[in-house]
């Protein structure tokens, strides 16, 4: 009888231990399942962020604003060009009026010796012998290269022609000359040169010599025609 009781008690004890082992196993399985599913949810959440980034790209608005400011840059050079043209016109106008006033006295800018009153002997005493001297036209011409000046004189040593090829004169055009002095009183052609003559007064002529190859003044001449006929030339 006692042996049967012990066997029954042992069976109950074994059954209880098996039951406890089963519960423990189920709990561990449940925990494993919950731990396995958690990273999956986190991963899904992480991948949702990049979907909104392209919509916020700033480059989409840049091309719309750039063309609005570009045309403004073209206005300044145009105004500068106008100012420069106006300034050049004013300078040439003043220069030409001064040339005409000097021509009325037989002179060119920067030279104190005048046609009709000056003598080549006075020039040589002051400037020395000319770099070149030769007969041409109605007289003899003495060239002073460094001074950019040529004197025409007769056999009586009287100066009748003063020429200047100063660089400041070589910027002048016929258009500028006519805008200030009007149409020339006479126009002649000498080879490729055109000679535009203005009667400064009864005594003197102001001449502009313009080669066709440049279109700008090569030199000017203040000329006393009556002195080019030398009574002592016989």
Say if CB 161 and CB 228 are below 8 A apart: yes
pTM of the model: 0.64
Residue 221 has pLDDT above 50, yes or no: yes
pLDDT band at residue 84 using 50, 70 and 90 as cut-offs: low
Between residues 220 and 32, the one the model is more confident about: 220
| Per-residue model confidence (pLDDT) at position 166 | 97
Between residues 7 and 36, the one the model is more confident about: 7
Say if CB 223 and CB 204 are below 8 A apart: yes
Residue 133 has pLDDT above 60, yes or no: yes
Give me the chain's average pLDDT, please. 78
Sign of the alpha-carbon dihedral angle for 107, 89, 201, 162:
positive
Residue 33 has pLDDT above 70, yes or no: no
Q: Point out which residues pair with 207 in neighbouring strands.
A: 197, 221
Q: What CA–CA distances, in Å, run from 149 to 117, 133, 160, 181, 221?
A: 17, 12, 14, 23, 10
| Per-residue model confidence (pLDDT) at position 66 | 46
| Per-residue model confidence (pLDDT) at position 29 | 45
Q: What CA–CA distances, in Å, run from 165 to 36, 48, 144, 156?
A: 103, 85, 11, 25
| Paired tokens of 23 | 């519960």
Q: What is the mean pLDDT of residues 118-135?
A: 97
Say if CB 200 and CB 206 are below 8 A apart: yes
């Amino acid at each position: 009888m006692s042996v049967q009781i012990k066997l029954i008690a042992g069976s109950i004890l074994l059954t209880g231990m098996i039951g406890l082992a089963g519960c423990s196993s189920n709990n561990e399985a449940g925990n494993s399942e919950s731990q396995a599913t958690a990273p999956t949810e986190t991963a899904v959440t992480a991948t949702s962020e990049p979907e909104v980034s392209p919509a916020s790209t700033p480059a989409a608005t840049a091309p719309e604003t750039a063309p609005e400011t570009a045309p403004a840059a073209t206005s300044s050079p145009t105004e500068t060009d106008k100012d420069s043209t106006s300034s050049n016109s004013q300078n040439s106008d003043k220069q030409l009026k001064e040339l005409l006033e000097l021509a009325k006295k037989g002179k060119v800018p920067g030279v104190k010796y005048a046609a009709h009153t000056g003598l080549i002997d006075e020039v040589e005493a002051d400037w020395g012998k000319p770099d070149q001297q030769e007969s041409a036209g109605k007289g003899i011409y003495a060239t002073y290269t460094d001074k950019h000046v040529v004197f025409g004189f007769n056999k009586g040593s009287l100066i009748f022609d003063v020429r200047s090829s100063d660089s400041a004169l070589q910027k002048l055009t016929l258009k500028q000359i006519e805008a200030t002095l009007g149409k020339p009183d006479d126009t002649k052609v000498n080879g490729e040169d055109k000679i535009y003559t203005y009667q400064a007064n009864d005594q003197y002529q102001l001449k502009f010599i313009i080669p066709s190859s440049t279109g700008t003044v090569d030199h000017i001449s203040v000329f006393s025609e009556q002195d080019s006929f030398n009574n002592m030339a016989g």
